[in-house]
Homo-oligomer: A and B are copies of this chain.
């Protein structure tokens, strides 16, 4: 049993926005055992949408469509579904009440306009899915064994509809296999060298377990995916093949990844251990703080940070002595270490993380090569500093430095 995702909108096809909805939907479907066969992005064009619906129906049991549900002329999804099912639009009283209530709450007490009233029209064959956060209702259709689900393209409306309406309905409607992923993160060896090393093991994988290599920013993730009717058996099989893999990659195995990202894992560790954290960022420009604070509850352990982008700010706010900077340069282990120690003192925390490096494109206040980054972690026991060469692409240097910083931080907090 497969699902497909169709995202509608010219803004995707001209590259004005990145389609993040599909990844969210695919991930959530996977969690309940539904594999996504294909993701298709199509234009705001009736014939094109009709063709995509027809093709998806021929391949898959579930077709989730996002976008094109707004009240304006370029939003044609409802009309297209009517044509696809030979249906007509009817006004839904409950949706109308909801639309009126939303307008009353947020915008105006005046009667809503004709154009907004249209938001309450749905194809007569649709089951309405309640969109708590917007005026465009979600819709569920069944035809010849295929379920079609139409959702608004606004990400937070779509996410809420998926979680509260769509996933429970799919879970109740279909018998689903189980899908289990296990991702092993390696560091220090290229994709091809790993493949060489584990070739015999890979050739002996059972047919229901797939292996994928995912190289990214210095790490290679090995993702094992098992799919089948019996969850316990799948878990056992994944465990068995993993046990055979571990000795082959012991020297490069960095960790095992579940669905949490590193900043969430670190957040839990700090919360558990009742420790606090501060940041002092130069080349990462606030990105470490931003990722830390993207985790709800970060205020339990994160007291704040200094973005000391200019050398002056390192001297005046972070109190790194000018003579140290003159002697070792602003991109140096000595400066990184002092940044970490001083921000820890200044904000009175247990831990701190500091970065200084050259992300390019020009050398700035430093003679260090582009890509050179020093990361320091100050802990209750001392300071650890590491030097990295992170390539020559600005964005990648920053993201790699953030990733590496979190890895170092995780390693250190685990010691306490």
Contacts and interface: CB of A to CB of B under 8 A. Distances in A.
Interface string A63-83: 000000011111100000000
B290 A287 contact: yes
Given A17-B23, A55-B55, A71-B191, 18 more contacts: A10-B225, A11-B212, A14-B26, A14-B30, A15-B25, A15-B26, A18-B20, A18-B22, A19-B39, A44-B212, A72-B192, A72-B213, A74-B212, A74-B213, A115-B195, A286-B307, A287-B290, A304-B310
Dominant SS among interface residues on chain A: mixed
A214 B67 CA distance: 11
6 contacts: A16-B223, A19-B19, A39-B41, A115-B192, A286-B289, A305-B307
A87 interface: no
A70 B211 CA distance: 14
Contacts of A156: 393, 395-396
A219 interface: no
Contact of A24 (B15, B41, B294): B15
Q: A39, A213, A393, A398: which has the most chain B beta carbons within 10 Å? A: A39
Contacts of A10: 210, 212, 225
A320 to B, nearest CB: 12
Contacts of A39: 12-13, 19, 40-41
Interface in A264-321: 279, 281, 284-290, 292-294, 296-299, 302-310, 312-313, 316-317
Total copies of this chain within the assembly = 2
Nearest to A15: B27
A397 to B, nearest CB: 11
B23 A27 contact: no
B13 A191 contact: no
Contacts of A48: 37-38
A52 B40 CA distance: 11
B38 A211 contact: no
A190 interface: yes
For chain A, the bracket of interface size reads 35 or more
Contacts of A43: 37-38
A347 interface: yes
A284 B290 CA distance: 7
A42 interface: yes
A297 B211 CA distance: 42
Interface in A176-200: 181, 183, 190-196
A204 interface: no
Contacts of A296: 360-361, 394
Contacts of A289: 281, 285-286, 289-290, 307, 309
A107 interface: yes
Nearest to A214: B11
Given A285-B289, A348-B312, A215 B70 contact: yes
Contacts of A302: 309-310
A202 interface: yes
Q: A107, A212, A302: which has the most chain B beta carbons within 10 Å? A: A212
A149 to B, nearest CB: 16
B42 A30 contact: no
Interface string A148-182: 00000010100000000000000000000000010
B14 A181 contact: yes
Contacts of A294: 285, 395, 398
Nearest to A308: B304
B309 A293 contact: yes
A255 interface: no
A38 B305 CA distance: 44
Contacts of A285: 289-290, 292-294, 298
A313 B347 contact: yes
B299 A310 contact: yes
A309 B298 contact: yes
A122 interface: no
